[in-house]
Each structure stands twice: as structure tokens, then as C-alpha cells.
Amino acid sequence: MKRMVAVFLALTLLAGLVSCRQAATPTVTPPAPSSSSTPSSSETPTSSEQSSSDGSSETESSSSSESSEVVPSSPETESSTPNNSETQPPVQTEPEPTTYNYQKLTDIQKIYYKSMLKAAKNMQPGWITLGEASAYFRSDIAVVRNALSLDNPQIFWLPSYYATATAYAQGEKQVAVMYFSRSPEEDPSYLVTRSEKESMQRKLSAAIDSICSKVTATDPYEIELQLHDLLCEQVTYTAFSESSDPLIYTAYGALVNGRAVCEGYSRAMQLLLSRFSIKSVLVTGVANNEGHMWNAVQLDGKWYHLDVTWDDTQEEYISHEYFNLDDALIKINHTINKNYYELTKAELASGEISFNIETPICDGTKDYYFNRSGFVLAPEGEEAFAKHIVKKGSVVIEAVFSDADFKESFGADDQNYIEKINRILSEKHTAYGFRIAKYYISEKVLTLIMETKD
């Protein structure tokens, strides 16, 4: 992009993930592209007309400038721009991304996505040329940046901030982006250095291998369940107020450092599930009046909500209250952010509104934890519950209340209920040898902690 005259520059904090990042918008304004700060690329664009979903004419730009670095976690075949020489090697095209959110984008957004993904993998510094500016390039880039982050938990070095710029080159309005961690003057870079990234990738891969080696199940539901429990054992929830380390928002923070917020838990679970070819996506929303992130997991063609963070709130046991919920159950205390196409172009471009690309409809019920592994607690169900406790044979027993009315009546007489269960276990299941030592009542679930009889 030579002899460019800058006509627009915007600075954006990616609000599209979770607002609990608590990152303040930088007060430093990035410099407009000039002879020293234009998008750093030796690209030779080749153009072909595309028609975007908004009806504007778009121009695709492909690059002949490549980085020599190969990212171990996602190797790709590099592309090149051929000439007419007979000695020119055959054209190699990069594989089309198959990730969930990429598939939901428009044609022009996919063009931007591939350029931004390649630059992020190779930690390309400075300005990244995307091609001809679309009619709504600011909102398009906001959508692409969000999709890129939601699709690629292995790129833990991707920062929250980015700048956009447009300029005219050879009569065409071009658009470019630049990633940076804090402000472009202070730290125009990714979250880690290139040399740090290479060693950190090895550590992340080793951590994933270690956890996955402990999985003994072959059924996808059981694999998910074991990964859920292993992740809860590995990670300690660490709020932003307790640590300023940006890696607590990443899979690396969760799996290697053992410290994460909801975003780190969710990205780690996404990576672990992918090792077993279990499809999952990240979902953003609001819970407890703050930004939140969790997973949606697909089993046997049906989608379910999985909130590992909210299942890792107790010191004494791992909960499964938020394991594979449908939309109706998750919406009791979670609000799912809108999909991007439900917002206006101005809202998307503002960088102030969190959004999803397209949250799948979660209507699965068969693999809801309490339908597969737990127990549905109903009135007059003490005998059946006691049999379930004996059959389960676990130190921790979980049962979901059949409805809100029964939970309310149970709470008014919970001690008598627990004593009755202990009597049934003692009188009718004498060989069992355990009794209820403690119990906890949450919003929907009764959890029992068993101990041996003395």
C-alpha cells in the first residue's frame, strides 16, 4: 500500500467478549498511517469483485508477503501470488477455515477474517492490510475480530485492542487493522513476545496432553464430564481484582498457570473438547450483573449450555448444576448476548456492546447431567432417592429439584427430609455403610456429602 493518504483512523477495545475484563479505553490516540506508519506489508494485491450481504461491492485482496514462522498448533500451507514465468512454483492456497463462527460470516467478512487470522498466528506487527474497504468496514471488522477470538482459543496472545485505518492506494479505498495490548505508543504488540509465544505454546500443549491422558471414557458425554471435572480440579477462579495478569482470560492462564476468570475456563474447555473432536463454541452474556462467558457443546446433534466456571464455586466438591442445560434452564440466571445481525451497524462499530456471532439453539435434554448422571428430586420420592444414593456409590450426590414449588417446601423442612433419608439408608440398605454428613441447597440443586457410618 504505497503512496497512501490516510482518511480514517479508529481505536477499538473488543467489548464483544466479556465486560468483566474491566479494561479502560486507552487515552492515547494512535498515529494515522504515513510513510512510516502505513500498514506494514509488502503485499501485491490482486482483486476480484465480491458482493457482500449488504449489497455493496467488495474487493478481495490476497497477499504475496509471508512470514517464515510456522505456528505449531495450526500449521497452514502458505499462499503466493504467481507470475507468468514458467519457473514459478504452483500456486498454493490456504485451507478454508472450518470454524463455527467463520461459517456464519458474509463473503467480505470472511476475506477480512483470513487476513487477520494469518497475521495473528504469525504475530505480524504493525498494520495488517485487509483489502478494499467495505461500505461498513468498521462494523465488519468488529464482527470479524470477535469471530476470530471466539473461534481460536489456541491464539492466547491475541490482545483486546485494535485500531482500524483507511487510505487510498492506486485509486482504491483500502482498510487495515493493527493489534496492540495497551496503547499503540506504549506497547504496539501482542500479549507476549514472539520468543515467549513459542515456549508458551509448548507448555500449553503439554498441559492439554496431561489432562487428556487422564480421560478414560469413550462416550462423548462421559468424555465431556471427565474433562469438566479435570478442568475444575486444575483451575482456581482468579478475579481481575486479584490479578492484573491478562492471561487469566486465556486458555493458557487456565491450563498452564491454573488461574482464570470465566473466559479462561471457557476457552480451556473449548480446547480440551476439540482434542476429542467434540464440537463446542463460546457464548457470551451477562450473569450476576456482569459480563460472562461459557460454552455451548454439541452431542449427538443437539446443543447444550455448559458453564464450568459456575460449577467450580465450592471448595468441598465439584458441582454439575450447569452441565448441559437447555436454553430455558440457562436463561433462569444467564442472559445471552444478541447475535451480531440483531444489532445496528453503528452499535457494532462502537466497540461498546458485547455480542455473539450466532449462538446455537440449545434444545437438547437427553444429555442434561441430571437426566444422565444425577437425580430428579420429587415429592414423596425419598425411597427412590435412597436407592439412587446407594447405586451411585459416590461421596458427593447431586439431585435437582423437580420444580420451584417443591424446592420451596423442601427448604422449609430440609432437616427432617435429610434425617428420613438417613433412616432409610440405615434400615433398608444396611450394607451400604454411608450416611449423609452435610448437605447444600443451591438455586436448583441439593448436594449431599456422604461419610462412613461409625
**Alpha helices (H) in 284-355, listed in sequence order:** 308-311, 327-330, 345-350
Whether pTM > 0.75 for this model: the answer is: yes
* The residue to which cell 482464570 is assigned: 260
Residue, of 119 and 160, whose pLDDT is higher: 119
pLDDT in tens, 62-112: 332 333 222 223 323 233 333 333 444 444 566 789 999 999 999 999 999
Residue 283 has pLDDT above 60, yes or no: yes
Which residue, among 67, 173, 167, has the nearest Cα to 120 in the 3D structure? 67
Distance between CA atoms of residues 233 and 312, nearest Å: 8
Element (H, E) at 437: strand 434-441
pLDDT in tens, 33-43: 333 333 333 33
Question: pLDDT value at position 160?
Answer: 85
Q: How far is CA 448 from CA 374, 418, 442, in A?
A: 12, 9, 12
Residue 193 has pLDDT above 60, yes or no: yes
Question: Where exactly does CATH 3.10.620 map onto the chain?
Answer: 194-370
Instruction: State the CATH architecture for 374-452.
Output: 2-Layer Sandwich (3.30)
Q: Which of 47-51, 217-221, 323-327, 418-422 has the lowest mean pLDDT?
A: 47-51
Question: pLDDT value at position 18?
Answer: 53
Question: pLDDT value at position 32?
Answer: 40
Specify which residues 281 forms β-bridges with: 296
Q: Which of 43-57, 151-165, 183-197 has the lowest mean pLDDT?
A: 43-57
Question: pLDDT value at position 12?
Answer: 56
Q: State the chain's mean pLDDT as an integer.
A: 82
Which residue, among 380, 358, 371, 362, has the nearest Cα to 398 in the 3D structure? 371
Residue 77 class from Cβ within 10 Å (0-12 exposed, 13-18 middle, 19+ buried)? exposed
* The residue to which cell 465488519 is assigned: 140
pLDDT in tens, 149-171: 999 999 999 998 889 999 998 88
3 state DSSP class of 57: strand
Longest Cα–Cα distance in the chain: 90
pLDDT in tens, 11-35: 555 554 454 433 333 333 333 433 3
Question: Where exactly does CATH 3.30.110 map onto the chain?
Answer: 374-452
Instruction: State the CATH architecture for 194-370.
Output: Roll (3.10)
Question: pLDDT value at position 180?
Answer: 79
